[in-house]
Structure 1
Amino acid sequence: MESEFIQRAKALSALGAGLSVDVYSPDLLQLVDALDEAELHPGYLEVFKATTSAMHWVRRRLPDMPLTYHGEGLWTTQPDFPQSNSGRQGVAEACAQLAALRSAWLNHECATKQMVGYAFGTYLPPLYTEWSATMTAENVTFLQAQVDTQAQQDGIDPALVLLEMPPLTYFGCGSLAIPRFFRQVTELSACGLVLDIGHLWTVYRYTGAWRRQTVESFVAEFLDEFPMERVIEIHVAGLAEFQTSVNRVTAADARDRPYWIDAHGASIPALLFDLLAQVLAHPRLRSLKGVALEVDTKPIATIVEEYGRFVTRFERSITEVQRIGHAGSLPSRRAETGYGLDVRKTLTADERSALHHQYQWYVHRVTACDPQSIEGELSLLGGSPEDLSRYRDCYLPHELLHWGGELQDMFPKTCGLLAEAGVPLEQFVSAWFSRPRPEQDDYDFFLLKIDRFVEFVEQWCPKAAQRVGDEARELRDAYRAANEPIGSVGERV
């Protein structure tokens, strides 16, 4: 696995400082124009999944710009990935978008928004256990094989699959330290890694490490154990506190570290740039090909200002890290750290079944939809039960009621009828997690939310069934038009 990774990594070009962007939010061409006006020229753009036709359009409009791909909907942490819609339709679409962009890599969070039949609006990290690491490695190897096969058929160079260390939104579950989880994955697969600096901070915050040590000493220990020689890309994005009327910061909270979570639309704290400098100085960071600010959903003026500060401070050091890595041989984890693991390449049938049940327990634990059905305890990664409760009681309901579309705005007339009937919108949360539902289509949280709300209204307020159906059709039509603004000749409609 190590030699295969080294061969693939050496074939990748060093791209330098870049941006991870969305096609639509903000408008990609307006962003590029604003950067040009400021005489800022990113070494590459990493484009988040959209439609395949949109990716072809981006490539035509930016013919000379190196473009890489940030995938979505490929749930490689899940036991059924190869047989699932995610592993079939999702992989096929990812391969088509890789080819459209001519991307050197496929980056995807090592996390999921869909788990054993239950869907979430934002990523949940995997179970950090040995079985989960082995299963993730199997699935990443399967994904890489599909990418390689399709690239050979298309007559193009295959993209390298990268796993991104995910954030902790208040909690993480499992028995394995996060650096060890990724070392086990890389012992069993030839994938590369993406190290997100903000995600690293959330590990510091929500595993309770902040109570024992400074963030600098935590990062030093974390990086020494993490497979840094596999890091192809580094991300830096904003962090922000999530606040609602039921999530007020107390005086005690204010004395602690802030409740920051990953937030691409927010400003990047100065602390993260300081941590980036620490990461770039690590001696085993020798496969690095790019460092990108994640700026989707951020105002263009803010992006230009932050990117200017970023390249002024880091462009030279990024270039130097890449020069050293290109000039020398890539280090072996076994030789330099002694962290070679004695792990099996596959799980037994019984272990696969047990892991599937553990993910069922995971869903029950984080949603508390049916506490009596929890058959075993899944330990937190050193964090506090209060942090899990913060996710379960505050953040998760906000995902379903407000995030990705405000229900009151999406279905104004239907919500009025629900209020008249005395049906609280909060009841939608328990209905959402009342039972598992098999995957049927490519994951899209907005469309999924529409479908589930229609089901909810038909069950709990039948007199509003006609109204919710009409509003749902209008939403779907408008959403399709908004997400495919590419004309037949490659121009905006």
Structure 2
Amino acid sequence: MSTKSRFDLPRIGVGLAYRPWFVRGIEQHRDRIDWIEICADHYIYRTEGRVARAVELSERLPIAPHGLELSIGTDAPLDMDYCRDIAQLARAVRAPWYSDHLCFTQVSRIELGQLTPIAFTERTASRCAAKARQFQDMLGVPLLLENIAYYMGIPGGAMTEAEFLSKVVNDADCGILLDLTNLYVNARNLRYDPYEFIDQIPLERVVQVHLAGGTYEDGMWVDTHDHPVDSHPEVWDLLDYLCRRAPVRGVLIERDANPPDDFGEMLAEVEHARAIWA
């Protein structure tokens, strides 16, 4: 399948990550929220009722599932049972695409409980690309790989992160979920230019964007997902720069902790992102 046909995807707008503390606000303001992103891992490995709940949600708002445990960077074959469960969920909610992280989260089937970076080498990129292509063929919809936040250079890497990401997605013929907050955090902590990073990746493959708020602690930015995006307003500038250059189909606001008392704060972030994206 060619890049053009694979990424001929709908523009789904600006949405919110579906979290328990936002359920009521999302239900009350469905006219102002274009779509939701669910954590796919919360809807598998359990009873059929979980999938039914996801299907019920998808009948009210479009859903793009987002995963945590694909562990594309693990030096081991894919967990095929996990992949089949995810593919079933994606079909059930009529997902336009599916996303997970370009990292590893498991070693010998043991979950690490974190997104762990991998060495940026040709060998690792080829291995990740082969696994991504295999999983994408099972999914039946485009797979998007997300850049993660990390806090030190990974030993042994001969490539930049932009070169590594580009090789993986080009070789796998998959898409990119560009987390602009992660990009900002990495660029500030590791001292590189985030705009040059954007210019160096295949922009035609950038399908979705994540935005969240982090914190500045002990001289370092930390990707905490527990503050407004305005905690580092430069991320809005990165979104504007990206949207002028890439065919972004969807933008998502994340808040994984410390939810605001007033849901209007989240709606304001959605509207801000929509104004830039549109």
TM-score tier by shorter-chain length is: 0.7 to 0.9
In structure 2, the partner of 1:272 is 235
In structure 2, the partner of 1:16 is 13
Alignment partner of 1:260 is 2:221: yes
Distance 1:309 1:73, change over 3 A: closer
Question: Which of the two has greater helix per residue?
Answer: 1
Q: What is the one-letter code of the residue matched to 2:222?
A: I
> 205, 226, 231: which one pairs with 1:230?
205
Q: What is the one-letter code of the residue matched to 1:182?
A: L
In structure 2, the partner of 1:74 is 70
The within-5 A match list for 1:379-458 is none
Kept in 2, the 8 Å contact 1:172–1:206? The answer is: no
In structure 1, the partner of 2:274 is 315
1:117 to partner: Cα distance: 6.2
Q: What is the one-letter code of the residue matched to 2:2?
A: E
Kept in 2, the 8 Å contact 1:78–1:135? The answer is: no
Distance 1:192 1:165, change over 3 A: same
Per-residue deviation, residues 76-112 of structure 1 (Å, max 9, x unmatched): 1122133xxxx21211221122123221111001112
In structure 1, the partner of 2:143 is 161
In structure 2, the partner of 1:297 is 257
TM (norm. structure 1) is: 0.51
Alignment partner of 1:26 is 2:21: yes
Query: How far apart, in 2, do the equivalents of 1:56 and 1:169 lie?
Result: 39
Per-residue deviation, residues 134-191 of structure 1 (Å, max 9, x unmatched): 11100001101222xxxxxxxxxx3211101111144444221011001111231110
> 35, 39, 60: which one pairs with 1:48?
39
Q: What is the one-letter code of the residue matched to 1:47?
A: I
> 97, 100, 116: which one pairs with 1:124?
116
Query: How far apart, in 2, do the equivalents of 1:314 and 1:182 lie?
Result: 25
Per-residue deviation, residues 448-472 of structure 1 (Å, max 9, x unmatched): xxxxxxxxxxxxxxxxxxxxxxxxx
Question: Which of the two has greater strand per residue?
Answer: 2
Rg larger in 1 or in 2? 1
Kept in 2, the 8 Å contact 1:171–1:206? The answer is: no
> 153, 165, 177: which one pairs with 1:182?
165
Q: What is the one-letter code of the residue matched to 1:176?
A: M
Query: How far apart, in 1, do the equivalents of 2:33 and 2:223 lie?
Result: 23
Per-residue deviation, residues 437-457 of structure 1 (Å, max 9, x unmatched): xxxxxxxxxxxxxxxxxxxxx
> 176, 190, 207: which one pairs with 2:190?
207
Query: How far apart, in 2, do the equivalents of 1:8 and 1:100 lie?
Result: 20
Q: What is the one-letter code of the residue matched to 2:25?
A: L
Identity %: 20
Query: How far apart, in 2, do the equivalents of 1:166 and 1:304 lie?
Result: 28
Give the 3-state SS of the residue equivalent to 2:227 in structure 1. Answer: coil
Kept in 2, the 8 Å contact 1:21–1:296? The answer is: no
Q: What is the one-letter code of the residue matched to 1:196?
A: D
Query: How far apart, in 2, do the equivalents of 1:132 and 1:62 lie?
Result: 36
Unpaired stretches in structure 2, ≥5 consecutive residues: none
Q: What is the one-letter code of the residue matched to 2:120?
A: Y
1:306 to partner: Cα distance: 3.4
Distance 1:303 1:90, change over 3 A: farther
> 7, 19, 24: which one pairs with 2:5?
7
Q: What is the one-letter code of the residue matched to 1:315?
A: R
Query: How far apart, in 1, do the equivalents of 2:120 and 2:267 lie?
Result: 34
Kept in 2, the 8 Å contact 1:265–1:295? The answer is: yes
Say what the alpha-carbon RMSD is for the aligned residues.
2.2
Per-residue deviation, residues 182-217 of structure 1 (Å, max 9, x unmatched): 1111231110101001110122133233xxxxxxxx
Q: What is the one-letter code of the residue matched to 2:3?
A: F
In structure 2, the partner of 1:140 is 132
Query: How far apart, in 2, do the equivalents of 1:51 and 1:301 lie?
Result: 27
Q: What is the one-letter code of the residue matched to 1:42?
A: I
In structure 1, the partner of 2:53 is 57
Per-residue deviation, residues 311-348 of structure 1 (Å, max 9, x unmatched): 1x3424423xxxxxxxxxxxxxxxxxxxxxxxxxxxxx
Give the 3-state SS of the residue equivalent to 1:68 in structure 2. Answer: coil
Q: What is the one-letter code of the residue matched to 1:230?
A: R
The within-5 A match list for 1:315-394 is 315-319=274-278
Query: How far apart, in 1, do the equivalents of 2:58 and 2:205 lie?
Result: 29
Unpaired stretches in structure 1, ≥5 consecutive residues: 148-157, 210-217, 243-248, 250-257, 320-493
TM (norm. structure 2) is: 0.88
Q: What is the one-letter code of the residue matched to 2:69?
A: G
1:27 to partner: Cα distance: 5.1
Distance 1:316 1:54, change over 3 A: same
Give the 3-state SS of the residue equivalent to 1:79 in structure 2. Answer: coil
Kept in 1, the 8 Å contact 2:74–2:105? The answer is: no
